[in-house]
Amino acid sequence: SPGPPRDTDVLVLKSKRISYPVHFPAYTIEKGELRVKSVREQAAKKTGADARHIKLFFRGKNMKDDSNSCRAEGLRHNSEIMCVVGDAVPESMSSSDSEGEEASADGGDAPKRKRNRNKNKKKKSKKPAASQNDSSRTESPRPAPTPATPMDKLNAVNSTLQALLPQCVQFLANPPAEQAKKDFEHKRLSETVLAQVLLKLDAVDTEGDPDARARRKELVREAQNVLNSLDEKIKS
């Protein structure tokens, strides 16, 4: 249902921790008339960047196709879109687009990492794995259950953030002396925090739970502080 009458459709673009509300003719999202291209053009105006260098993410999914309608991408009035300028987008996110929204929101590129890990394990220990299977067929590895509540999802993202912190602290305390290595490490850590923490937090629906909303705000602030510290270090 269209809800109460309104003059415009609003989408909130988030770029570099700033929110830009952008307005479009009322109900054009719902009618399938508003295209991704129009949103990208508005993002270019707001950020002052070339539209070709802007990537738009909704719930962790890269909206690549300008001709798609915003409705087909799942957008609604007041939806929040993550806007990234330039090549600050991790490749891992682009490659998980085909897995669909849910895969990106819940796991992103985690399944890929697991596959790679398993490949290494197979190479190293083919024989023990075979003998284990004989003794414990019932315990075949199962994928981790998807966190159920908003708080569970937020705690899962927090675990990722806490696992990344030691690497970030190490970089801040003792960055590589060589500028190229320093830039590479800064980019790697920043992109990982963006993809694995901020975009995942953006995708968590707090379902109206005030505690979950407060927790998400707190985690977003913590992740943003890490990004700010990394940026300060690269400038120094």
pLDDT digits (tens, 9 = 90+) for 79-136: 988 888 875 444 334 333 333 333 333 344 444 444 455 555 455 545 554 444 554 4
The rounded mean pLDDT for the chain is 77
Average pLDDT of the segment spanning 126-149 = 56
The H-assigned helical ranges of the chain are 36-47, 91-95, 100-106, 110-124, 126-135, 150-173, 179-193, 199-203, 210-235
Q: Where are the domains of the chain?
A: 8-92, 150-235
Looking at domain 150-235, does it have CATH number 1.20.58.120? Answer: yes
Average pLDDT of the segment spanning 135-150 = 62
**Fold type of domain 8-92:** Ubiquitin-like (UB roll) (3.10.20)
